[in-house]
Chain A
Amino acid sequence: MSEEFKVEIVNPEKSFLVKDDVSEVVVPAFEGEMGILKDHISIISFLKPGIIKILSKSGDENYYVEDGIVEFKNNNLSILTSTIFNLADMDKSKQQDLLKQAEEEANKTDINDQSKYLADQKVEVLKTLN
C-alpha cells in the first residue's frame, strides 16, 4: 500500500499547486506546527505565518504562507491561502521587502493583540529565512 496522498494549494487567483505523490506535509497551524501523513483524521484548522513543507518522491518543496485554512479529508489535503510564495523562487530582495512590511505592521501601536501576534510571527519567520 502506498503511503501517498494528494495535496492541493489554492489561492484566490488560481489553483496554485496540485500534487498527488506526497508523503508528508508540515503546515504551520495556528497552535503549532502540524505534520500530516496519510490517513490522518479529517481536520480543519487555520494557519499562521510560516513555512509549509511538502515532502514527496519528486523532491521536497517549501512555501512561505501568511495565512490560510487547511482541510484534510479522505486523504485530500486542501490549503486555502491568499499569500503564498515558493521559497525556491523567492530571492533575497523579495524577502527583505516582506520583512520590512511585516516589521512596520508589527510596530504599529493601534492594532489588536491578535494582529500584533500575527505580525510578530511574520517577522520571526522571515528573519529565520535570511
Chain B
Amino acid sequence: MASLDDLKKRIASVKSTQKITKAMKMVAAAKLRRAQESAEKGRPYSEKMNNVILNLSNGISDKENAPKLLSGTGQEKTHLCVVMTSDRGLCGGFNSNIIKKAKSYFAKILDEGKELKIITVGSKGNDQLKRVYGDKIIKNISFKESKNANYFDADKVGKMVIEKFEAGEFDVCTIFYNQFKNVITQIPQAQQIIPLNNEGEESSSEESYEFEPDEDEILSNLLPKNISTQIFKAMLENSASEQGSRMSAMDNATRNAGEMVDKLTIEYNRSRQAAITKELIEIISGAESL
C-alpha cells in the first residue's frame, strides 16, 4: 500500500491536471461558439453557389464539351485526397475519425489498382498518415498561424488543387473533413469535389435563365471558385467540430479526474485511520502488559 505521503502527492497532481482540463474545456466552449457562428454564417454562400451551379449545369446543352471540372477527365485513374485535420491535439477522436475514414477509402482505391495522391491539411493528419502512406503524400499544408479559418487560406488550397488538376496530375478529387452536427456528434465526411457530383439533386426551379456571357464561360469561371468555397466550408465545419470534440473530450477528462480524486481521497483517509488505529492498539497493549 502506498504511503500517506505518496497518496497526498498523487491527489495533488490529479487535481492540477483537472484544473488544466477544466480550463481547456472552457476555452474550447468559448471558441466553439465563435466557430459555430461562422460555420452557420458561411452556409448561405456555399448553398447559393451550389444552387447557381446546379442551375447552370442543367442549362448546359452540350454536355460533351462541358468544362472538365464538371464532367471529369473521362477516366478515374488517379485519385487525389485532401485530408483536413487539426493542428492541435487533445481533441478526442476528432482526428482519428477522419483518418479512419480516409484510410478505408485509401485501401479501397489501392485495392482497385488506382493511383493515390494525398494532400494533408493540418499537421495532426500528416503525423498519423505519414507512417503508412508517407510516399503518397505530395504536400502538407498547415495554417498554424491563422487563428480562425479564413477564405484566403481556403483559396490557396483550392488554387493549388486546380493547378494540379489542370496539369493532369489527377482525375478525381475527394476532401475529407468532419461535419459538425452538435457538440457530441461530428460525422466524418468524404466529399467528391472534382468532378462535381450533383447527380440526383434536382434544380430548385424549372425557370430558364438568361446568361451573360454564355453558360460555358460562366461555368469555367465559377467552378474554380466553387472548389475554394467547398474547401472553405469544410474548414469551417472542421474548426467547429474540432472545438466541439475538444470540449466534450475535456469535459470527460475533468469528470474522470474528479472520480480519481474521490477514490484517492477515500484511500488516503482509510490508511490514515488505519495508522491511528494501529498506534492505539500498540499503546493499549503496551499498557496492559505492564
Report if A42-B44 is in contact (Cβ < 8 Å); known contacts: A12-B229, A13-B38. Answer: no
CA distance A34 to B218 in the complex (A): 16
Task: Tell me which of B1-9, B188-196, B201-209, B243-251 binds A.
Answer: B201-209
**Chain A nearest CB: distance from B266 CB in Å?**
52
Do the beta carbons of B221 and A73 come within 8 Å of each other? no
Given A46-B218, A46-B221, A78-B48: A13 and B56 within 8 A (CB)? Answer: no
Q: A12-B232, A13-B38, A46-B222 are in contact. Are A80 and B210 (CB under 8 A)?
A: no
Residues 89-139 of B contacting A (Cβ, < 8 Å)? none
Whether B211 lies near A43 (C-beta < 8 A) is yes
The smallest beta-carbon distance between B41 and chain A, in angstroms, is: 4
The answer on a CB contact under 8 Å between A44 and B213 is: no
Indicate if A15 sits at the interface (CB-CB under 8 A): yes
Q: Is the CB of B41 within 8 A of A44?
A: no
> Which of chain B's residues have a CB closer than 8 A to the CB of A14?
38, 41-42
- The answer on a CB contact under 8 Å between A71 and B52 is yes
Contact B212 A43 (CB under 8 A): yes
**Complex contacts, A107 vs chain B, CB 8 Å:** none
B71 within 8 A of A: no
Q: Is the CB of B207 within 8 A of A12?
A: no
Complex Cα gap A105–B206 (Å) = 41
Q: Answer yes or no: A98 CB below 8 A from chain B CBs.
A: no
**In the complex, are the beta carbons of B213 and A30 less than 8 A apart?**
yes
In the complex the two chains form, is A44's CB within 8 Å of B56's CB? Answer: yes
Q: Does B49 reach chain A (CB closer than 8 Å)?
A: yes
Interface contacts beyond A45-B212, A69-B225: sample of 8 additional A-B pairs, CB < 8 Å, sorted by A? A11-B151, A12-B45, A12-B151, A29-B212, A30-B212, A42-B209, A46-B218, A71-B48
Residue pairs across A and B with Cβ atoms less than 8 A apart, 21 shown, are A13-B42, A13-B150, A30-B212, A30-B213, A34-B212, A41-B210, A42-B207, A43-B210, A43-B211, A43-B212, A44-B52, A44-B55, A44-B209, A44-B211, A45-B211, A69-B49, A71-B55, A78-B48, A80-B49, A80-B52, A82-B225
In the complex, the 9 A-B pairs of residues with the closest C-beta atoms, listed nearest first: A14-B41, A12-B151, A45-B212, A43-B210, A10-B45, A42-B209, A12-B45, A44-B209, A10-B44
Residue ranges of A at the interface with B (Cβ–Cβ < 8 Å): 10-15, 29-31, 34, 41-46, 67, 69, 71, 73, 78, 80, 82
